[in-house]
């Protein structure tokens, strides 16, 4: 699959590469890096929960700790499980690229 980097929120290094077919004008992308301290966490399990706390999706972070979801505008909770520890955060997502920092400890 061909991919392209899409800059967003002034932190392009935080965004996972997107397939060229994805229209960022229409999609609500929630993306970021799982970190333990300063170090990215590869192989972490990141799940996206909706505003009621219900599971919506789960991905495994890339070797660089990246995760990415295609969601919809609204409030979402992210939850990460890893051998380095667990963590979570909430995000108010808009259409386009939403970049989130997710720390585990």
Partner 1 sequence: MSREDVLVSADWAEKNIGADGLVFVEVDEDTTAYDGGHIPGAVKINWKTELQDAVRRDFVNKEQFEALLSQKGIGNDDTVILYGGNNNWFAAYAYWYFKLYGHRNVKLLDGGRKKWELDNRPYNTDVPERAATTYTAQPQDLSIRAFRDDAVKAIGVQNLIDVRSPDEYAGRLLAPAHLPQEQAQRAGHIPTALSVPWSKTANEDGTFKSDDELRKIYADAGLDESKDTIAYCRIGERSSHSWFVLKELLGHRNVRNYDGSWTEYGSLVGVPVALGDEPGEA
Binding-site ranges for partner 1 (CB under 8 A): 19, 21-22, 27, 43, 45, 47-48, 50, 52, 54-60, 68-72, 79, 81-83
Shortest Å distance, C-beta 77 to partner 1: 12
Residue 37 CB contacts under 8 Å (≥ 6 apart), including other chains: none
Nearest to residue 79, comparing CAs of 51, 55, 98, 95? 55
Shortest Å distance, C-beta 89 to partner 1: 16
Shortest Å distance, C-beta 37 to partner 1: 19
d(CA 12, CA 75): 22
User: Closer CB to partner 1, residue 10 or residue 63?
Assistant: 63
The CA R_g of the chain, rounded to the nearest whole Å, is 13
Shortest Å distance, C-beta 70 to partner 1: 5
User: Closer CB to partner 1, residue 10 or residue 54?
Assistant: 54
| Burial group, residue 87, by CB count within 10 angstroms (0-12, 13-18, 19+) | buried
């Amino acid at each position: 699959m061909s991919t392209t980097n899409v800059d967003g929120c002034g932190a392009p290094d935080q965004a996972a590469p997107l397939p060229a077919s994805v229209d960022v004008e229409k999609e609500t992308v929630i993306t970021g890096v799982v970190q333990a301290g300063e170090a990215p966490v590869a192989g972490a399990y990141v799940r996206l929960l909706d505003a009621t706390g219900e599971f919506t999706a789960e991905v495994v972070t890339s070797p660089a700790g990246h995760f990415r979801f295609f969601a919809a505008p609204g409030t979402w909770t992210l939850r990460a499980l890893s051998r380095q520890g667990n963590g979570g955060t909430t995000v108010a997502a808009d259409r386009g690229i939403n970049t989130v920092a997710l720390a585990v400890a």
